[in-house]
Amino acid sequence: MSNFLSIPVSIIFLLSISLVNAQNGELNPSVLAGKWTLDFTPHRLDDSNFASMEITKVTNDTLEGYFYRSGVEMTDGQVNISTGKVYCALVSGDGTGKYYTSFYYENDKLYGTTHSVDKDFLSVWTGTKDKEAFQPSFEVSDSTTHKIPEGQEYTFGYLEVLENRSNPNSRTIKVPVYIFKSRSSNPKPDPIIYTVGGPGYTSMRASRYMKYYKYLDDRDFILFEQRGTQYAKPSLDCPEWAKAVYQSNLPNFDVAKTDSLFQKAVGACKEQLEDKGIDLNYYTTNQITADINDLVNVLGIEEYNLLTMSYSTKIGQVLMRDYPDKIRSVVMDSPLPLEVNYDEESVKNLLATITKLLSDCENDQSCNSSFPNIKNRFLAYLEEKSINPLKVEVENPKNGNTETFYLRGKDLISVFSAASTSDVPNIPFEIEKLLNNDLRSVKEQLSYLFQEPGKGIGIGMRLSVWCAEENPFNTLEIIEEETSKYPELKGLSPAVYDDEICEIWGVNKEPAIENEAVKSDIPVLLISGEYDELTPVKWAESMTNNLVNSYHLIFNGWKHGPTTNWSNPCAMQAANDFFNDPSLKPVPDCLKDLKTPKFKVE
């Protein structure tokens, strides 16, 4: 064994110098030169306050540059490395007073404080050196979300963007994109970009059915997944919420515990998502529109058309407002105007739409003869059951036991609200069965409630959108009034998420502009289903006042999402005709044939 004492002193001295240099590279103040992002709320995930610092010159004793934002020069910058770390202090000001800052460098980060005597505050912050400016990218992948039928040409890949564009050091996220090639040998140069509603639904399921999409006859068709949804990376899934929904629907559930059940669920979901490093503030409409704009630029698209439906019509409106230059035309199927407060109207719209459908039945000789006075009888029935709930016994398919449900008017209205366009002709018939205490259809619906809960796919994204963009603009008094105003649906809250849920979710509120109408001269086709209670005809009609080059088509007898009515592609044909010539209102022959539905009477 060698004797340490026998090593020459000169060699020991040299070894000590090299160890200091190797282990404490931070003793070299030059590492401070460059741009830094300062996080003034490093201890909070529910708030974001970023600033910047650029150090343009640094020595062993002094530093120069800008602090907090570009143009605000630092003065009296001092450096001290005598204690084995790089310590700094500086003074800055913005016209309202002086700010005194000190910080030290350790493990590639800055740890600092800034205080103001004039404003009586002390902020604690951390700093991360900016990487080279991030550039969004599209990377082709052989691993698709779904098996695409043979014969369909396509490119699949992922758009990679920053989760938080205001922070250049943000983590990145990826959203899947399909680019389906047109069936035409000479396709038009302007593709269609399509993303679906929700919020929180995946757009990728449509990838398997491109042979049914008429749009591909003329141009390429791009399917875009919104950040935070099922096949995006990450997907903001909330199995805790899905389990709460399942538990709340069981027949023996204590309704007094509903609020606490969902509040615990949303808190647990928030915690598990944030533990993965996800910032819930950045899964909103504004971020999605920026993603689409990045995709357009990365792919080098000079001009494109936009196909939107339900919630994604909000995405369309924000794109028209913030990134209009490359948009040739827009189709909005079942539009949700930015300026509308959805929650404040949802119960009113539901009741108005079922009333219209039953009035149409009464105006039809055959329907009225079979189901006389059905509107008043059904509304009276809902009101009576809101006071004296309907007792329904259902066999639990899991164990064969008989379970008892008690259904009120707000539950029984699902005979209409759960129906699709193809079900519309049967609605009066099903209501008459219910009025005659024929509960076969009701029992079938209830049996599905025993199915195990899902994964809550995309619920986190839905919460972020709703709690940032819809809930903040609600008037509590209106929500409370709507919940108790209608005796037929007493107790049915119009709010998708109540205030307590959004307070727990804790995302930043969007500015007032996200609740204001968009004005544009971009050609727009608005498509409505006559019996759509979710996005009623009146909303699209109101939008025509601000969209000066818009047309509005109403599909008689149809409900939500006419362009996805696979039993009748008339709305899709109208949308495709519009994309081919946005200067004209499309009037396909099939539209002329649509009249009041032929109601089933036996």
561-594: pLDDT as tens digits: 999 999 999 999 999 999 999 999 999 999 988 8
Same domain, 177 and 316: yes
Among 109, 129, 149, which residue terminates a domain?
Answer: 129
Range 34-47 average pLDDT: 75
State the chain's mean pLDDT as an integer: 92
Measured distance CA(327)–CA(294) in Å, rounded: 14
Report if residue 298 sits inside a domain.
yes
Q: Residue 426: what are its φ and ψ, rounded to 5°?
A: -90, -10
Same domain, 30 and 90: yes
Report DSSP letters for 171-183, one per residue. Answer: -EEEEEEEEEPPS
Range 235-248 average pLDDT: 98
Total domains in the chain come to 3
* pTM metric for this prediction: 0.81
pLDDT greater at residue 1 or residue 478: 478
- For position 593, what pLDDT does the model report? 86
Residue 225 domain boundaries: 157-233+283-340+520-592
Same domain, 65 and 99: yes
- For position 27, what pLDDT does the model report? 79
Can you tell me which residue has the tokens 């310590």?
87
**Which is nearest to 263 in space by CA: 455, 473, 453, 505?**
505
The SS3 of residue 450 is helix
User: Which tokens go with 56?
Assistant: 């343009």
Same domain, 333 and 362: no
Report if residue 346 sits inside a domain.
no
Range 23-45 average pLDDT: 75
- For position 553, what pLDDT does the model report? 98
Report if residue 444 sits inside a domain.
no
- For position 133, what pLDDT does the model report? 79
Q: pLDDT > 90: what percent of the chain? A: 85
Range 497-516 average pLDDT: 97
Q: Is-contact 407 431, C-beta < 8 A?
A: no
Same domain, 167 and 224: yes
Same domain, 226 and 312: yes
Which CATH number covers residue 555?
3.40.50.1820
- pLDDT of residue 348 exceeding 80: yes
CA separation (Å) from 541 to 143, 318, 328, 337, 344?
43, 19, 22, 10, 18
HSE toward the beta carbon, residue 353, CA cutoff 13 A: 30
Same domain, 52 and 31: yes
Range 348-370 average pLDDT: 97
- Which tens digits make up the pLDDT trace of 371-392? 999 999 999 999 999 999 999 9
Range 356-381 average pLDDT: 97
Range 438-452 average pLDDT: 95
Among 129, 149, 180, which residue terminates a domain?
Answer: 129
Q: Is the peptide bond before 536 cis (omega within 30 degrees of 0)?
A: no
Continuous segment of H or E residues that includes residue 195: strand 188-195
- Which tens digits make up the pLDDT trace of 162-217? 999 988 889 999 999 999 999 999 999 999 999 999 999 999 999 999 999 999 99
Same domain, 326 and 370: no
Which CATH number covers residue 42?
2.40.128.120
